[in-house]
Structure 1
Amino acid sequence: MMMGENDILSAEQYYETNNEATPLLLRAPDPPYKMVKNIGISQQALVVDTTGSKMSSANKFPQYMAGVSATLGAMAAGMVLGWTSAAGKNGIDLAKEYNIPLTADEFSWIGSLVTLGAAAICVPIGILSDLIGRKTAMLLLVIPFTIGWLFIIMAKSILMFYVGRFVTGLSGGAFCVTAPMYTAEISESSIRGTLGSYFQLMLVIGILLSYGLGPAINMYNLSLISAVVPVVFFCVFIFMPETPIYYLRKGNRDAAKASLLRLRGSHYNVEPELQALEESLMEEQRKKTSLAQALRTKAARKGLVIAFGLMFFQQLSGINAIIFYAGSIFESANKSISVNVSTLIVGIIQVIAVFLSTLVVDKLGRRILLFVSIVVMLVTTFFLGTYFYLQRQTSVDVTHIGWLPLLCVCVFIFLFSVGFGPIPWLMIGELFSSTTKGISGSSACFFNWLMAFVVTKYYSSLELAAGTYTCFWLFSAICAIGSVFVLVLVPETKGKTLEEIQHELGGQSSSNEADKA
């Protein structure tokens, strides 16, 4: 039976009309089973027997495998971001190797065009992933990635560098949308935070690879290695399943079931989870009239405010300035530390911190990590601003506290990488319904990369006009506002299903909360 646009049937009527068995979630349970209270998607056991013993729990290893495979694209994006670290000051080493004269302004464009490329693809890739699937869209990104690196490898002019950097940025930015979306839709709620954090972990690993390889090999060979990483991603990720939610939205229940079986294990009963997903999507269809109206719902509006706010504070917290000054700060604190070694130290700190974040984000929660992260960032940027003020605007001798800026840099990078680095990307996959996730998540990513371009391109001008100390005090003030933003607006999503998060954003109590009341 075909349902008209205005036909509204209850779930029971739908299955009766189509001569199908009513799903377990909609029937009174028959012995020897009883329904578990607080049913939600992606729980380890939705059905138990009358003795209280659990049936076979889901296998998490396939979910981890799929999550790591998907975020290999983030590692490729990280190598794009870290590539310029090997180019020397103002690109002097790059210019010599390729025999292409570069001015400081031209090199700044080589660095910042990546962020423009990333911003340009964010909205289109969200739409494309809804049309052809998350997996297919991610696999197709290997094509522009390869083309972009070929432009850089074979560059004969500045224009070829510009094109190559823009296209590789475009591909890297697309992974910032699709990878969190994919991991959020394949994972159980108990490990969704960990899998979501893998994106930032693989991103900083890619940056660290560029930092580590840069001093050891020339730019040409670094570009060749960077071009291989997307191909490795393709060879691994092609064997991973598409998300079950995408298949259900396309009306392919068998494919969705097969996907869940691959992600949860063949011995796990996926029917309750599959039926819960169907019910959620059917409810969306009943309420859905258009994307524009869906975006006007309270949950969608609040999700956008939170996502845009997190991206704003992430980029304007001072992270780019801290990394920009890391080399000179390390060197001034300890003359034996070269710029290459200092950038390597920064990369190692980032990887260790993000790895720790993957271990605790599902235990401590998103909100507490965000708050602690931004408060510490507030303090460290304030101290950095004070240090630079005393050093450059007064006659105070600060050589006896040369360890202070070094400590501030390390602590800032560590706490940023634990909280405000990975968690905003993770929460993009959690804050939006499947109806609005593509356009909303990609819009937040567009805003993030746009802010990254502004900071990357124009920070030096602001620093020259207002002074380094003013910039860091400004970052400290922004972090202060961000801490209030986290306390007032950001919800805790740890351990909650995607449906429960939508209910909370919409001002409704979730089923779990209602049952606990």
Structure 2
Amino acid sequence: MEVSKCEYKEIGARFKMEASLTYQLIIVACINIGQIVVGYSVGWSAPIIPKLQNVTDNPLEEPITDLEASWVGSLLYIGAMVGPYVTSILSNLIGRKPCLFIGGLLNITSYILVITTKNLTMVYALRVISGLGMGVTIVGNIVYVGEIASTHIRGILLTSTSIVGISGTLLVYSVVPFISYVCTGYIALGISLVHLIAILYIPESPVYLAMKGDAIKAAKTLNRLGRSNDVDKTLDTFSQFKGSETTKIQDWIEIFTIKSNRISLFLTFTLGAFQQTSGVAVVLFFATTIFKLAGSSIEPHIATIIIGVTRLVSGLIAPTFVDRSGRKILLLVSMAACSISLSVLGLYFYLDRVDSPALTNIGWLPMVALIVYFFCYEAGFGTIPNAIVGEMFRPNVRSNGSALAITLTWLVGFALTTSFNSMVETLGGDVTFWIFGGCCVLAFLFTFFCLPETKGKTLNEIQEMLS
């Protein structure tokens, strides 16, 4: 049976499309190795704090206090709030790819310090450096993936970064409680080295190449990514940059003077702030401590492993539906369910405070409430905001705007993690988690009334819509 010339062309085009999509997936897989390290860093304090508070398997001379433990958890945010600005300053100067490499080097440095820890100051230092690496890596990945991805799979690839991060946290929960403190550093160091090598083989962002006036390389990269139709549009968009460099000050000013950038900052920061006030950072950093505090009948380390598996499984929901049903509906369902589960957890703490006899029969409730919370959180609330950050802002301020939105968000997270123990002591566990649940209700209302749907729109079309 003969195949017509037309059919040959169709088969060839289909093969080329599949090859280009595979190429995009391979690139994202390479940079997502860094997201495993990010997730590892986020979850590291939960099983490590009990080690540092014991006399066995403790590299320090004496156990740390509760106040020192809260700093071990929250200092990650100090570095994380600075890291994104490294990316924002350098990404338009030296490129997106070198920024990813710098993030990898910072991660390696932090876990060398884990291996060589001698005192509490070194623990504080490694948490700050780890946060720096986390900040550089997260913003670099969001900007880079948003710029290389085809429109119809951009949402999937952007949400994948959050999901891979969850696998890093699960690795911590599953392995770290059962190995020595020093071994926790060797594991992350090995992953960080693989990440650094993988970055060497990915291309520079075509958007950065176009901004620098390198039309030939930009066109070649877009063609290899299967985005031939975007070549003319991309080069035309950045023709204004050819022969003239915008200053860093001008880029920062444009975040606030151009309407679409102002709206982008408002949307991304507010959504991120609500994400933090849902209590997710508190639960991740102090998961083991929370189960002990609740007096749950389930062994704390086992409970955190179950939660980690739940997060990973539920995280697969967002990429499956984000480019089909859209961002908004997933967020709304996720926020509503998070509010209910946190309210139930608060109810458990209330029953514990009043010494209710019912507690003897519901020791499993804290774990179930947190499993439901994380399942619903990662299905939308935990993954989609990062994807939205990668879609917002004009190209020349995308790194700056993303950095500003994320660091303002992490500032909220830092305030919560440092004040968590004080909140529990002053307000009680019940009121604390009811506040977190109430913030999820406010997030629902904000998303319903203020957040636009970006499904199926190109980055240029999103900017036009916001204008």
TM-score (norm 1): 0.81
Where does 1:70-219 land on structure 2 (aligned, <5 Å)?
70-89=31-50, 91-93=52-54, 96-101=57-62, 102-219=64-181
Give 5+ residue unaligned stretches, structure 1.
1-48, 265-269, 507-517
Q: Which residue of 1 aligns with 2:233?
A: 276
Matching residue of 1:237: 199
Residue number in structure 1 paired with 2:445: 484
Which structure shows the higher helix fraction? 2
Q: 8 Å contact 1:94–1:219 — kept in the other structure?
A: no
- Who is 2:307 aligned against? 346
Q: Report if aligned partners of 2:323, 2:456 keep a CA contact under 8 Å in 1.
A: yes
Is the contact made by 2:84 and 2:407 (CA closer than 8 Å) also made in structure 1?
yes
**Residue pair 1:152, 1:165 contacting (<8 A) in 2 also:** no
Task: Find out whether 1:473 has 2:428 as its counterpart.
Answer: no
Amino acid at match of 1:304: L
Which residue in the other structure is 1:383 paired with? 344
* Residue of 373, 379, 386 corresponding to 1:412: 373
What per-residue deviation string (whole Å, max 9, x for no partner) do you get for residues 213-259 of structure 1?
A: 11332110111111121110111121111111110000001111221
Q: Give yes or no for contact 2:84–2:139 (8 Å, CA) kept in 1.
A: yes
Distance change >3 Å, CA 165–CA 503, structure 1 → 2: same
Query: What is the aligned counterpart of 1:316 among 270, 273, 277?
Result: 277
Structure 2 contact 95–208 (Cα < 8 Å) conserved: yes
How large is the RMSD of aligned CA atoms in angstroms? 2.5
Q: What is the alpha-carbon distance in structure 2 between the residues aligned to residue 384 and residue 440 of structure 1?
A: 35
Residue 389 of structure 2 corresponds to residue 428 of structure 1: yes
C-alpha deviation, 1:103, in angstroms? 2.4
Name the CA shift for 1:320/1:146 in 2 (closer, same or farther; >3 Å): closer
Q: Which runs of 5+ in 2 are unaligned?
A: 1-5
Residue of structure 1 equivalent to 2:455 = 494
Aligned length: 449
In 2, Cα distance between the equivalents of 1:473 and 1:343? 21
Distance 2:160 2:237 in 1: 27
Report deviation, 1:398: 4.1
Find 1:225's aligned residue among 187, 205, 214: 187
> How far is the alpha carbon of 1:135 from its aligned partner?
0.8
Change (3 A) 1:478 1:331: closer
Kindly indicate whether the alpha-carbon contact (under 8 Å) linking 1:186 and 1:263 is maintained by their aligned counterparts in 2: yes
- Is the contact made by 1:354 and 1:418 (CA closer than 8 Å) also made in structure 2? yes
The answer (yes or no) to whether the contact 1:90–1:103 under 8 Å persists in 2 is no
How far is the alpha carbon of 1:284 from its aligned partner? 8.4
Q: Distance in 2 between matches of 1:495 and 1:182?
A: 19
Tell me the amino acid that sits aligned with residue 158 of structure 2.
Answer: G
Deviations 1:183-207 (A, max 9, x none): 1100111000110011111111111
CA separation in 2, counterparts of 1:327 and 1:99? 20
Q: CA deviation at 1:355?
A: 2.0
Larger-gyration structure (1/2): 1
Q: State, as a whole percentage, how many aligned pairs show the same letter.
A: 29
**Cα 1:395–1:221 shift into 2, 3 Å:** closer
Offset at residue 56 of structure 1 (A): 1.9
SS of residue paired to 1:60: helix
The AA in structure 1 aligned to 2:112 is L
In the other structure, the counterpart of 2:330 is 369
Render the CA deviation track for 1:341-368: whole Å, top value 9, x for unaligned: 1111111111111122222211121111
Are the equivalent residues in 2 in contact too, given 1:331–1:338 (CA < 8 A)? no
